[in-house]
Amino acid sequence: MRGIHSMKVVKMMSMIISLIFCMMGVFYLVEPNVFWDTKTLVEILFLWFGSIKIMGYASKDLYQLAFQYDLEMGLLLCVIAIILWVWQDHYFDILCITFGIDLFLDSLFKIRIAMDAKEFGISSWWITMGFSFLCILLSIGLGLRLLPRMAMQIRFVGVTFLFEGCSNLLMMLTMVKLYHYQSNQIDTRNEESEE
């Protein structure tokens, strides 16, 4: 039961962080100048999210579906947070490049997860697949920084934060049946052992 409890904690924390990503994305879209006052918050958010991903990988859910690549992605987010904290002079440039790489890799992994989810019979696999392809396009745009003005570029960062948050939130919501299934499996095993 400890494993189930830890997964519920990781799931809840991941959903909270995903909502924070969404809110920050909306803030950057509405008021781009607020970005410069939230640099420390971005670093903390990346470090926090990276830690939760590592915890998710260690939680060992039944199929290791949603968390199977979270060790690598969690470590990457922690490294990005440290890089952003150390190199403040070119903060925005580094953020666009590093977060673009993270978003690109994370989206590729989520495509693989969506394909696995389809094999497990999860009907909402296509939602994760669709968001992942969209996030790949956003990550490329983020890395290339094609928009001319800084305010527009910050708004684009807001769009990537918003879609990354939505993608992670949907991932947690669509995988919830696996947790219930695992709980039922453990209860069944306990009943069989008592008999």
Q: 85-104, pLDDT tens digit by residue?
A: 998 888 999 999 999 999 99
Task: Say if 186 falls within a structural domain.
Answer: no
Domain count, the chain: 1
Identify whether 81 is part of a domain. Answer: yes
Query: pLDDT tier at 194 (50, 70, 90 boundaries)?
Result: very low
Question: How far apart, in whole angstroms, are the C-alpha atoms of residue 195 and residue 16?
Answer: 41
Tell whether the model's pLDDT for residue 58 goes beyond 50.
yes
**Which DSSP state fits 32?**
G
Distance CA 105, CA 164 (A): 12
Cβ count within 10 A of residue 37: 9
Residue 132, domain member (yes or no): yes
Please state, for a pLDDT cut of 70, what percent of the chain lies above it: 84
Q: Mind listing the pLDDT tens digit for each residue in 149-189? A: 899 999 999 999 999 999 999 888 876 554 444 444 444 44
- The answer to whether residue 187 sits within a structural domain is no
- For residues 63 and 119, the answer to whether their CB atoms sit within 8 Å is no
Evaluate whether residue 182 is within a structural domain: no
User: Does 195 fall in a domain?
Assistant: no
Nearest 5 degrees, angle CA 79-CA 152-CA 127?
65
Q: Is the pLDDT of residue 121 over 90?
A: no
Residue 194 lies in a domain: no
Using alpha carbons, list the distances in angstroms from residue 124 to 61, 68, 154, 162, 170. 19, 18, 32, 20, 9
- Angle formed at CA 50 by CA 9 and CA 186, multiple of 5 degrees: 30
The domain in which residue 163 lies consists of 2-177
d(C-alpha 93, C-alpha 143), whole Å = 9
Entry pTM? 0.84
> Domain for residue 164, yes or no?
yes
Question: Alpha helices of the chain — where are they, by DSSP H?
Answer: 2-30, 39-58, 70-86, 91-119, 125-144, 150-174, 176-194
Written as six digits, the tokens of 123 are: 């009907």
